[in-house]
Amino acid sequence: MSKNTSKQTRWHASQESDELVFAVCDRYFKQLGLSSQTDDGEKRQRGAATAVAEWIRRERNRRDITREKIYPIFWEACNRGFLLLQPPTEKKLTCKLRSTFHLEDYSGEVIVVNANGESAAKHVTSTAADLIIKLIEDVSAAKIKKYPKNREKQAVHLGMGAGYAAMLVAQRLALKIKSGDSVPQLVLHAISTGGFLPNEPHKAPSTYFTYFDPHLTNIKFVALFSETVIGHEDYEKMKLNPGIKSSFDKRDEIDIIVTSLAAADHEHGLLGRYLKYLIEEGLVEKGLLDKMFAEGWIGDVQFRPYSVNAPLPNEVCPVRAVTLFELDELVKMACEDNGKYVVLVAGPCGECGETKKHALLPLIANEKLRLWTHLVTDIRTARELLGADS
């Protein structure tokens, strides 16, 4: 007599379809909302999982879904990126920033995210990503109206900067862009070569493209592959190289730019870290950083350094980052009413939580450095900016 060695497959929430997982979450939140409106709401909320299980059994004919299985399905929804929190914004601080820095006549939008603590950087980037989705929809609608019969010109071009904040924005965007049917035609551009250090390729914009589902036929990519830094005397010649020229030629197609900033004296700033690396390797003079600080270096955007007054002169540093846009070009793009947008993600450092208020202050207070149409920051940074002004 042979022994039956077959085993029944054990159930796991990961086996369920997207449709069922989403339906469970949708119904669960709806059930909690109904419970909160009753006198015995607390008791009814404790029974929400039971009510959802009964609904699934009745509406989906899934007799195997019990109350105990609702919570694993809920956590599976988190793993699949179905549950994305949208943090609130702080309107009073926003108004105070606008009045303090005389932004009443400036068309740019300031968004202060009501988030604090170790998660603030993540919530600032998620708010920026949600904003970019809205801008993509607005640009798409305008282009469809302008070019009703030209699908190629209807595409929305998004320029991605480098750094940890931009990386988090890209991850959130990729989670939200799930359905190719609902996403406008999108072209992602890397606007700088990025990461610099060999052990940090994940901070280079071209690597962000891997977050997006390659099966989404509405998404195309324009990478930027070149040296990370180059001497000023060779820069214009380098831009003519066949592998790079195409990226520069297409830069004027970009409708929306997302970028962040770094403080000059901050340990996690990519430009400062890379310049230290070059000094240690003996590739640039030892006193380079002191020379840049003496010139007033306070921060950088897209690895282009600036002081409180203006971008630093090229002669201050013998090398420069490869990037599609200079700071004055971003300022011009932000100031002109041309349907283009620059989103500056200005939350705390995502690695240590330190704010970048001193580097951000000139980008708000000095109109010659106001290179953003949308500024997204957090309440701690906003309060420190107001304190620094006073």
Please determine, for residue 43, whether its predicted confidence score (pLDDT) is greater than 70. Answer: no
Please determine, for residue 78, whether its predicted confidence score (pLDDT) is greater than 50. Answer: yes
Please determine, for residue 195, whether its predicted confidence score (pLDDT) is greater than 80. Answer: no
Phi then psi for residue 156, to 5 deg, are -95, 130
- pLDDT category of residue 225 using cuts at 50, 70 and 90: confident
Please determine, for residue 308, whether its predicted confidence score (pLDDT) is greater than 60. Answer: yes
CA separation for the pair 354, 117 (Å, rounded): 10
Please determine, for residue 343, whether its predicted confidence score (pLDDT) is greater than 90. Answer: yes
Please determine, for residue 269, whether its predicted confidence score (pLDDT) is greater than 80. Answer: yes
Residue 326 has a pLDDT of 95
pLDDT, averaged across the chain: 86
Which residue has 């006073």 as its token pair? 390
CA 293 from centroid of its chain's CA atoms: 29
> In 3D, which of 30, 37, 76 has the Cα closest to residue 51?
30
First-to-last C-alpha distance (Å) of the chain:
89
Residue 81 has a pLDDT of 74
Residue 2 has a pLDDT of 46
Residue 301 has a pLDDT of 94
- pLDDT category of residue 202 using cuts at 50, 70 and 90: low
pTM above 0.75, yes or no: yes
Please determine, for residue 311, whether its predicted confidence score (pLDDT) is greater than 90. Answer: yes
Q: What is the 3-state secondary structure (H, E, C) of 196-227?
A: CCCCCHHHCHHHHHHHCCCCCCCEEEECCCCC
Residue 131 has a pLDDT of 94
Lowest-pLDDT range, 152-161, 195-204, 292-301, 358-367? 195-204
Please determine, for residue 173, whether its predicted confidence score (pLDDT) is greater than 90. Answer: no
Please determine, for residue 41, whether its predicted confidence score (pLDDT) is greater than 50. Answer: no
Residue-wise pLDDT for 112-146, tens only, equals 999 888 889 889 999 999 999 999 999 999 999 99
Residue 6 has a pLDDT of 45
Q: How, if at all, do strands 219-222 and 304-306 pair?
A: unpaired
- pLDDT category of residue 5 using cuts at 50, 70 and 90: very low
Residue 1 has a pLDDT of 46
Residue 39 has a pLDDT of 53
Q: What is the 3-state secondary structure (H, E, C) of the chain?
A: CCCCCCCCCCCCHHHCCHHHHHHHHHHHHHHHHHHHCCCCHHHHHHCHHHHHHHHHHHHCCCCCCCHHHHHHHHHHHHHCCCCCCCCCECHHHHHHHHHHCCCCCCCCEEEEECCCHHHHHHHHHHHHHHHHHHHHHHHHHHHHHHCCCCHHHHCEEEEECCCHHHHHHHHHHHHHCCCCCCCCCEEEEECECCCCCCCCHHHCHHHHHHHCCCCCCCEEEECCCCCCEEEHHHHHHHCCCHHHHHHHHCHHHCCEEEEEEEECCCCCCHHHHHHHHHHHCCCCCCCHHHHHHHCCCCEEECCEEECCCCECCHHHCCEEECECCCHHHHHHHHHCCCCCEEEEECCCCCCCCCCCHHHHHHHHHCHHHCCCCEEEEEHHHHHHHHHHHC
CA separation for the pair 148, 85 (Å, rounded): 35
Please determine, for residue 294, whether its predicted confidence score (pLDDT) is greater than 80. Answer: yes
Mean pLDDT of 85-113: 91
* Yes or no: domain 91-389 corresponds to CATH 3.40.50.1360: yes
Residue 293 has a pLDDT of 95
Tally of CA atoms within 13 A in the half-sphere of 282 that contains its CB = 0
Please determine, for residue 199, whether its predicted confidence score (pLDDT) is greater than 60. Answer: yes
Mean pLDDT of 255-271: 91
Lowest-pLDDT range, 66-75, 154-163, 201-210, 287-296? 201-210
Domain ranges across the chain: 14-79, 91-389
CA separation for the pair 298, 292 (Å, rounded): 9
Residue type, 356: K
